[in-house]
Amino acid sequence: MTGHQPTTRTPLRNTSSATALRQWPRSLRGVFGLVPKAHPLSWWILLISTLAIWLNAIDRVLLPTLMPAIMREFRLNEVQAGWLNSLSFVGTFSGAIILGIYSDYLGGGYRRCRSWAIAVSVEVAAGVATAFCQTLGTLQALRVLMGFGSGGSEPINVALLGEWWQKEHRGFALGVHHTGFPLGQFIGPALIAGILLLGSWRQAFLFIPLIGLSILAAQLMVGNRHNHQKVCAWITANRLTPPLGAPALAVGQKPGLGASFACLRNRNCLLTMIVVFGFIWAELGIATFLTLQLMREVGMALSSAAMISGASGITGWVGQILWGAYSDVHGRKFSLAIILCGWIVAAALCVFIQSATLAWAILLFWGLFRNSPFPVAYALLIDSAPTAAASSMGLMVGLAVGIAGILVAPVTGWIIRDYGFTLHYGLIVGILLLCGIPLYFIRETVRRVSPARRGAG
């Protein structure tokens, strides 16, 4: 659980990142004492990993954004469309668990890039093949396969990033890394809207997944054994804590299957899964039929609705960094509580989307909170059960994200079809309120430092 510890000082455990930062040499405090310094290769891995999450985010909005066109071509109603979207999360469920466990078995550090490459290759191939499918059955099978790749790549990607950064900056790295989600949720619909002006939904599936090939090549070039050893040596030389198990990773030791399921024996992890399940239900409930709502309730064309549906991505990156860094100082649990309140307000406001102006305003507000729970929850998970990062996060993504994704689209499609959007958003608010119960029982993993002590630091 401890990995290699530097001999020159005791690692700072359970202290805020701000307090820890003031205790490091001035040369390591980074720009304006806010952005930490790290090895250049750590920054490259952060950039590549962020782009990978960006691609995942685009993949997840691809089908919901294009859903109206697909519904017309295959003559689907809202419930059938919901089940089509759920098939992606059948793949997410299986891919996150199977590939997450396989990634830890294959090995961490530079070896993690290999299992990540397998997941991304499956994701890209399934996306491109979707452009050529001619039957509903083929489309359904490819949605499962694409979900398998994206579901596996996300936990592996997060674990990989954690093994190329010093432990003291875990919250910062994950917060920046997860800006790929809001950026993808905005840029993705914008790319789709541009493609729709010149082609059909098939061209969107053809060209967008191919972006993953350049990300894949960059990761394989940078994430090799020699570079990983250089990063770990730099971290140790600068009196920081190497990534968890860095020496073991260097010699190829593996945590074993027992450690892979440590998350299921940890109270914090189980409660976090329940909270994440609620957030995912709410997010997919809003996002899956948002384009349809804008077309039906506001009267927009598909291309305009696709553009506005990604508005939350404009402000999303601010929320990612803000709440990720805030959780390092004030605690994961406290940050999740604030994020939950913002989510409840945003979901309630979605009832009032009756014009393009209101849609922009409400979705920009939602962006400040939309993706913020996930880097904080990942940090909480790593804090609570750090021995097998990809396996534990794969279980969380599979069980929380996968199951919610399988159920939410057909259920919300049925509610919208029979009862309308007002009841739909009312139920989402209710689910978010229920998330407060497991959140209350989570044990905080970051010690909050009093203002007086922070000032004396």
Q: How confident is the model at residue 433 (pLDDT cuts 50, 70, 90)?
A: very high
Mean pLDDT on 382-395: 66
Q: How confident is the model at residue 376 (pLDDT cuts 50, 70, 90)?
A: confident
Model confidence at 11: pLDDT above 60: no
Nearest residue to 224 (alpha-carbon basis) of 115, 389, 113: 113
pLDDT tens digits for range 308-348:
887 887 888 888 888 877 887 788 899 999 999 999 999 99
262: DSSP letter:
G
pLDDT score of 438: 96
pTM score above 0.75 = no
Burial of 135 (0-12, 13-18, 19+ CB in 10 A): exposed
3-class DSSP state of 31: strand
User: Among residues of the chain, what percentage have pLDDT more than 70?
Assistant: 83
Strand partners, 35: 31
pLDDT score of 273: 85
Model confidence at 26: pLDDT above 50: no
Domain 36-443 in CATH 3.40.50.620? The answer is no
pLDDT tens digits for range 106-158:
777 778 888 899 999 999 999 889 889 889 899 999 989 998 998 888 888 88
3-class DSSP state of 29: coil
Burial of 11 (0-12, 13-18, 19+ CB in 10 A): middle
Residue ranges per structural domain of the chain: 36-443
135: DSSP letter:
S
pLDDT tens digits for range 45-63:
999 999 998 888 888 878 8
Contact (Cβ atoms closer than 8 angstroms) between residue 113 and residue 223: yes
DSSP string, 354-416: -SHHHHHHHHHHHHTTSSTHHHHHHHHHHHH-TTSHHHHHHHHIIIIIIHHHHHHHHHHHHHH
Tokens of 449: 């430092």
